[in-house]
Chains A and B, each alone.
Chain A
Amino acid sequence: MTSPAARAVGATKIYGQGDTKVTALNDVSVDFARGQFTAIMGPSGSGKSTLMHCLAALDDLTEGSVYLGEIELTGMGDRELTELRRDKIGFIFQSFNLIPTLTAKENIVLPASIAGRTTDKEWFDQVIEILGIGDRLSHRPSEMSGGQQQRVAAARALASRPEIIFGDEPSGNLDSKSGAELLGFMRQAVDEHGQTIVMVTHDAISASYADRIVFLGDGKIVDEMLEPTAEKILDRIKTLEA
């Protein structure tokens, strides 16, 4: 069996000191399997965003370690972490995903061009095809709707064929139809192309697109669910909150 795409071992993150000390992550160990779509859920302050940031090489842990494939992130310098993000990770944020001065196409190939590489033409066309943004390539972000902007962001994340894509409430700012379309595309990327995706969300319907859900509460993993549906999730949340 191959190693998981990403892995946290005893991950602990403490902010502040003394009276203002906040434990965002408390000894969390979790694996994210390759080719799987995982959602991390939990109420505000549960540590779900912190966990994602640490897995995505955006933040560092106080204790414990995280792995991206076989690579241990802990102790890496800024330069190595940056190159790791550039070459092995894709991102879809809730908003402000795109550089306003660049066209959609330029935004999509940005990670590759920052790295001084060219993007695989065939794969690029395929991604554009999947996301249906072929007619938007020369537009700037301000000339596109919110849904189109998020699809361009998804295209950017997919275009570099990263080992893993992290999403931070990618459909959070979209109306339900656009949100459903975007999540559908993400699902398709996992099913048809074996893409690994980890997504933070607090929305049950969004989470229902995932293969597996990890529930966080007070910095710890409190539950897990496979093959979720929106109803099952809502029930589980009620139980967890009770």
Chain B
Amino acid sequence: MIRAAIRGIWEHKLRTLLLVLSIVAGVSFVAGSLIFTDTIGGSFEAIFDGAFEGIDIQVTPDVDQGFSSVQPAFDASVLDLVEETPGVKETWPVVAGLINLTIDGEPVSVQGPPNIGISWEEDPTFQVLEGRAAAGPTEVAIDTVARDRFELGIGDQVGLAATGALVEYTVVGIVDGLGAGPGFFTFDLATATTVLNLEGLFTGINVSVADPAETESVLNAISNRLPDGVVALDAQAAAEEQAAVLKEALGFFQTVLLVFAGISVVVGVFVVYNAFRTVLGQRTRELALFRVLGSTKRQVTTSVLVEATVIGLLSGLVGLAGGVALASAAKFGFSLFGGSGLAEGGLVLQPSTFVTALSVGLIVTLVSAILPAIRASRVSPMAALVTIDKPPRKLTKQIVVGALFGLPGVVLLVLTGLDRIPLWAGAAGALGLLLSAYVFGAVVGRPFIRVIARVLGNAPVRKIATDNAARSPRRTGATAGALMFGVALVVAVSVIVVVTQDTATAVLEDAIASELIIQSSGPDPTAGFSAEIVPIVRGLDTVEAVQTTRFAQGSLNGENEFFGSFEPETVEQTFKFAEVDGSWSDLVGQTVAVQKAQAEELGLSIGDEVTIDLGSGPEPWKVAVVWDYAAAVDDTQGFYLPTSTLAERFPQANVVAAYIKLVDGVDPNAAKASIEELISADYPFAQVTTQDELLADLQTQLLGLLSVVFVLLAMSIFIALLGIVLILLLSVFERTRELGLLRAIGATRKQIRAMIRWEAVFVAILGALMGAAVGTFAGWSLAGSIFGEGFNFVVPWLWIGTGLLSAIVAGVLAAILPARRAANLNILDAIAYE
């Protein structure tokens, strides 16, 4: 029997190929994720091992700082405290902050980590690779990341600006930095201090100790002398911390790959299960013959599992190759996100990856085959002798199983949508509902297809196609169900995106009264633009009011918090509020304005005190205003400080956004042009946008995000398509005689092709509509959880339509091969076929 199983694989090469392909994607994602992690992970250790050699201790502000936020600073007097500590050999003060650049006068916009401007006076932080260190107000030395990312070399000109106007610098050296993450632009200390507006402040001090064995005691000695808000760290620990930040980016790639691995594996399992079920159903007589000839039930099961094993191993091997390809693609993607130094060298293929890939292939196939195999072993030997006309089986089991998964799924989703339970519970609910819909496909499939057929009208061939699609409800349901997964995910994602867009539109239209907004055009919006622009804009007679916002990182009542800022003088002219408790004019000095939602959460009201630490130690701040926007703004930043206070505390911080209220009757586009004329030469990173442009930008961004998700989800839809092809091929094989009869009594080849095509389209529409229904519901639930209760739900009709249309196209494509087979059957063979 085992030999018969192996021969079966060989004789049905096309079927085997399609089965293998359905599993390959899942295996590829798993293998790719492992290879990628091993490859990048290896180079991590190497890079951060060598970093900060020669530096033993780093003194930094005590704030949890990523690369992309405002770098806090401390008073320059700290340097003396450190220098005077016994055991300290050398000290190098450092100033660093975000920086924007232009090349050939054009602002450069990059994805990924931002660029850092930093002082460097030949301390061990960097080593010169080429040229020399920067000296004087027009020179810069760049690290290898910046060199590679912007294709810069010695002698090139680059425009740089942080808080001031743009200045052109000449690249005089290439230095060896981390080789990954942000790009570094190094100046001498005086230049960096000017560029970053950090007069009298440092953002860090690098320290070397006389005796490295004494590092710990020196560290403690320094710590004891430091004021609040400044800490001393072991340099090695600091390096590890930076590595952790980059590893987060790596983790993101891995998570994305694994999520898609999961989706592909699930869809693959359904496709293979369905195919095995159908094939074994068709082989009933053959299996029964084996039973007549004395095969045990166990032997029948084994023969099916042997076939599954071979297919699983094949898929594992092909998937491994796919994984290598995916890992190279991910590596390339990662290098674009600032990890060029990490993405050097070849891919690392560990033996464990090999084993995992083969195991995934094997397990997926065996799991898919086990139920059909057991059912096959139950075939009665009698089936070999007589044709047993099985009455159509009741679908009770489907209804029970569907309800078992579906009801809890619906409950979880509803609760998530109402924001009563966490998001992951909703995700579990969505999975339950998908499984339930997959099983229910068999129940709703038949009546559903009849309805579609009625809508389309019963043209002669279409009538037969309808009957064929409705003939094996379980098979049709399972085939459509595989397609449903991908469509449901696409629709759910698009619900989130459409709601985001809708919410953002509402914010712009209902919460913001200003006609123009200035933002940073750089890669990181929090990098902002120079505050020097503000007085220029204020001076225009077309401008009625300007409101500026700055950001700061710190903590509130001990929790990390990101703060925004308001200017109390103009806030009412530039924003629309539904509710304001307290008076904006009180928002001065050490006071905070709290958004209503956050105020309710913390039980805050006017006059209460909160503890805020902005890097110089915890201080009491008074709640001056509690407000609510006129629109349902999803603003996670609920705490706003007076802009003037922030500007004082963080002179190195840029303005993040400026809202410009124009004098009544002034054309926004004309006003925009006149502002641009004044500022664009010196401040190229300040981008003036009208509300319309902002909306259009947002849409472009969301579409970009959506397209990435869609490309990856297309994978699962592709697997489902393979499922349709497989099942149609098997159906054509099963209905050879019918097809022959139809041809004999006068159906043309074209009609036969159309018949198969219609069947595919029916199944595809069924899958797409089930997917759209589940996806919309899941999307509503997830959006409810993300945006909170009372969000404005939008059905993504456009995307549902697109999904439906793609499904129809997909059905037509899937039908090509089976339709050709059916149409080209030899009539005489077909009608003589037993």
Contacts and interface: CB of A to CB of B under 8 A. Distances in A.
Query: Are A and B genuine complex partners?
Result: yes
Interface string B101-133: 000000000000000000000000000000000
Interface string A79-120: 100110111010101001111111000100011011110000
Interface string B524-553: 000000000000000000000000000000
A99 B742 contact: yes
A114 B747 contact: yes
Contacts of A59: 828
Interface string B716-743: 0000000000000000000001100111
A93 B743 CA distance: 13
Interface in B428-483: 460-461, 463-464, 467-468, 471
Contact of A97 (B463, B741, B743, B746): B741
A58 interface: yes
B827 interface: yes
B389 interface: yes
Q: How large is the interface on A (under 10, 10 to 19, 20 to 34, 35 or more residues)?
A: 20 to 34
A86 B460 contact: no
Given A58-B827, A91-B745, A101 B460 contact: no
B746 A113 contact: no
Contacts of B748: 79, 82-83
B831 interface: yes
A156 B471 CA distance: 23
A114 B749 contact: no
A142 interface: yes
Given A78-B749, A82-B746, A82-B748, A101 B464 contact: yes
Contact of B460 (A58, A79, A82, A114): A114
From B471, B744, B748, name the one whose CB has the most chain A CB atoms within 10 angstroms. Answer: B744
A98 B461 CA distance: 15
Contact of B467 (A58, A101, A115): A101
B721 to A, nearest CB: 25
A100 to B, nearest CB: 7
B751 interface: yes
A59 B828 CA distance: 8
Looking at chain B's contact residues, is the secondary structure mostly helix, strand, loop, or mixed?
Answer: helix
Given A101-B467, A101-B471, A142-B389, A114 B827 contact: no
Interface string A197-226: 000000000000000000000000000000
From B460, B745, B748, B828, name the one whose CB has the most chain A CB atoms within 10 angstroms. Answer: B745
Nearest to A85: B746
Given A58-B828, A101-B467, A113 B460 contact: yes
A91 B744 CA distance: 8
Contacts of B463: 102, 106, 113
A79 B746 CA distance: 9
A21 B468 CA distance: 40
B741 A114 contact: no
A93 to B, nearest CB: 6
B746 A111 contact: yes
Nearest to A142: B389
B476 to A, nearest CB: 13
Nearest to B471: A101
Interface in B792-834: 827-828, 831
Contacts of A85: 744-746
A34 interface: no
A136 interface: no
Contacts of B741: 93, 96-99
B749 A82 contact: yes
A98 B740 CA distance: 11
A166 B681 CA distance: 91
B746 A83 contact: yes
A97 to B, nearest CB: 7
Q: How large is the interface on B (under 10, 10 to 19, 20 to 34, 35 or more residues)?
A: 20 to 34
B828 A86 contact: no
A111 B745 contact: yes
Contact of A116 (B389, B460, B828): B460
Nearest to A50: B828
B464 A58 contact: no
Contacts of A98: 741
Given A82-B749, A114-B461, A53 B468 contact: no
Contacts of B737: 96
A99 B827 contact: no
Nearest to A109: B460
A101 to B, nearest CB: 3
Nearest to B745: A111
Contacts of A113: 460, 463
A99 B746 contact: no
Interface string B545-577: 000000000000000000000000000000000
B745 A114 contact: yes
Contacts of A99: 464, 738, 741-742
A173 to B, nearest CB: 13
A86 B745 contact: yes
B746 A100 contact: no
Interface in A125-180: 142, 156
Contact of A102 (B467, B744, B751): B467
Interface in B169-227: none
Nearest to B744: A91
B751 A114 contact: yes
A50 to B, nearest CB: 9
Contacts of B471: 101
A102 B468 CA distance: 10
Contacts of A87: 746
A227 to B, nearest CB: 31
B273 to A, nearest CB: 25
Nearest to A56: B744
Contacts of B461: 114
Contacts of B389: 142
A110 B460 contact: yes
A142 B390 CA distance: 11
Nearest to B470: A101
A139 to B, nearest CB: 14
A106 B741 CA distance: 14
Nearest to A168: B831
Given A101-B471, A102-B464, A93 B831 contact: yes
B648 to A, nearest CB: 82
Contacts of A102: 463-464, 467
Contacts of A91: 744-745
A78 B826 CA distance: 11
A142 B387 CA distance: 12
Interface in B736-773: 737-738, 741-749, 751
A66 B438 CA distance: 55
Contact of B746 (A53, A101, A114): A114
B753 to A, nearest CB: 13
B192 to A, nearest CB: 81
From B467, B828, B831, name the one whose CB has the most chain A CB atoms within 10 angstroms. Answer: B831
A110 B744 contact: no
B468 A101 contact: yes
A99 B741 CA distance: 8
B388 to A, nearest CB: 12
Given A101-B464, A101-B468, A156 B738 contact: no
A82 B747 contact: yes
A86 B467 CA distance: 22
Contacts of B743: 82
Given A79-B749, A82-B746, 18 more contacts: A78-B749, A86-B746, A96-B738, A96-B741, A99-B464, A99-B738, A99-B741, A101-B468, A101-B471, A102-B463, A102-B464, A106-B463, A110-B745, A111-B745, A114-B461, A114-B742, A114-B746, A114-B751
22 contacts: A53-B828, A58-B827, A82-B749, A85-B746, A86-B746, A93-B744, A93-B831, A96-B737, A99-B741, A101-B464, A101-B468, A102-B464, A106-B463, A110-B742, A111-B745, A111-B746, A113-B463, A114-B742, A114-B745, A114-B747, A114-B751, A142-B389
Cβ-closest 8 pairs across A and B: A86-B746, A101-B467, A113-B460, A85-B746, A82-B748, A96-B737, A111-B745, A114-B747
